[in-house]
């Protein structure tokens, strides 16, 4: 069975179409989206003329069996994360003004209103984002796989200090074990290629093929959006236990 894994689209309809074209040519059985379908950050992206949150949502909704909520999806749908890490969101979080949020967040959270443009989506599309799960455990050919937007306990990628996520590797592996999973995939970090880690070590690999091992492993997959980093998609063959990380050009 072949699973295509995409993440961090950020309304980049051109790159998403390229990704779907590659997926179509590779005889994929299932497509998984790991979140951040929406969220156009002005400092980081330059696809303003082709950004299209609505069409990106429709493509994902029509083609992906599993879709996870990313931090930008939560912001756009005004949903408070269920997995809150160590930040206690007040119930009226989205009715607070920016200065109130900034004071409460105290540098701990991404405040998307600082640099993100509105996604201009419909009420129905916003409801779709609101109802997305924060993680999914799915059985593929007899093995459970954990899919999330980011690493446990910050599983939605809502924290601003995500650059220190190495300290959570063991916590994420422990979370995988509690879910009876030997493999885990997430995005958010916009890795160039793929990063793999176990409870004891971590490696970064460029685009290409990679064989999984028998020990619990988690993989940070590349993003779809064209930004300052190389982007791509990941294909996982459950029969050969091999990953193919394909760069988008």
Q: What is the pLDDT of residue 146?
A: 98
Sign, CA torsion 132/109/154/212? positive
CA distance 171 to 221: 19
- Let me know if residue 158 belongs to a domain: no
Q: What is the pLDDT of residue 168?
A: 77
CA distance 53 to 12: 8
- Let me know if residue 163 belongs to a domain: no
H-type alpha helices, the chain: 13-25, 53-63, 71-77, 98-105, 123-130, 169-178
Q: What is the pLDDT of residue 141?
A: 84
Q: What is the pLDDT of residue 34?
A: 98
Query: How many domains does the chain divide into?
Result: 1
Residues 6+ apart with CB under 8 A from 164: none
The structure tokens listed for 211 are: 């064989």
- Let me know if residue 210 belongs to a domain: yes
Q: What is the pLDDT of residue 84?
A: 81
pLDDT digits (tens, 9 = 90+) for 150-202: 999 999 999 987 656 677 788 999 999 999 999 999 999 999 999 999 888 88
- Let me know if residue 228 belongs to a domain: yes
Q: What is the pLDDT of residue 20?
A: 98
- Let me know if residue 63 belongs to a domain: yes
- Let me know if residue 167 belongs to a domain: no
- Let me know if residue 120 belongs to a domain: yes
Phi and psi of 2, rounded to 5°? -110, 125
Helix 123-130 × helix 53-63 angle, to 10°: 50
Output the pTM of the full model.
Answer: 0.96
- Let me know if residue 48 belongs to a domain: yes
Question: Residue holding tokens 């749908």?
Answer: 77
Q: What is the pLDDT of residue 163?
A: 59
Q: Whole-number mean pLDDT of the chain? A: 94
Q: What is the pLDDT of residue 78?
A: 96
Q: Concatenated DSSP letters for 174-228?
A: HHHHHTT-SEEEE-SS--SSEEEE-SS-EEEE-SEEEE--SS-EEEEPPPSS-SS
Q: What is the pLDDT of residue 162?
A: 63
**Residue ranges, the chain, pLDDT below 50:** none
Q: What is the pLDDT of residue 64?
A: 97
Q: The domain containing residue 23 runs over which residues? A: 2-135+204-214+221-247
């Amino acid at each position: 069975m072949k699973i295509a894994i995409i993440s961090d689209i950020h309304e980049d309809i051109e790159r998403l179409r390229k990704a779907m074209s590659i997926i179509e040519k590779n005889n994929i059985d299932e497509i998984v989206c790991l979140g951040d379908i929406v969220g156009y950050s002005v400092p980081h992206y330059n696809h303003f003329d082709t950004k299209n949150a609505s069409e990106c949502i429709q493509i994902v909704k029509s083609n992906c069996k599993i879709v996870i909520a990313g931090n930008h999806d939560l912001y756009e749908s005004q949903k408070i994360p269920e997995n809150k890490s160590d930040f206690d969101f007040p119930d009226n979080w989205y009715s607070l003004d920016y200065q109130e949020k900034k004071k409460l967040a105290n540098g701990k959270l991404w405040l998307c209103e600082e640099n993100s443009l509105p996604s201009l989506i419909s009420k129905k599309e916003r409801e779709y984002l609101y109802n997305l799960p924060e993680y999914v455990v799915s059985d593929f050919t007899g093995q459970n796989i954990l899919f999330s937007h980011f690493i446990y306990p910050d599983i939605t990628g809502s924290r601003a200090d995500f650059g220190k996520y190495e300290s959570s590797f063991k916590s994420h592996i422990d979370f995988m074990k509690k879910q009876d999973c030997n493999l885990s995939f997430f995005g958010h970090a916009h890795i160039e290629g793929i990063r793999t880690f176990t409870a004891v070590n971590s490696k970064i690999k460029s685009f290409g093929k990679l064989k999984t091992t028998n020990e619990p492993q988690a993989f940070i997959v590349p993003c779809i959006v064209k930004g300052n980093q190389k982007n791509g998609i990941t294909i996982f063959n459950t029969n050969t236990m091999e990953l193919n990380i394909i760069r988008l050009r």
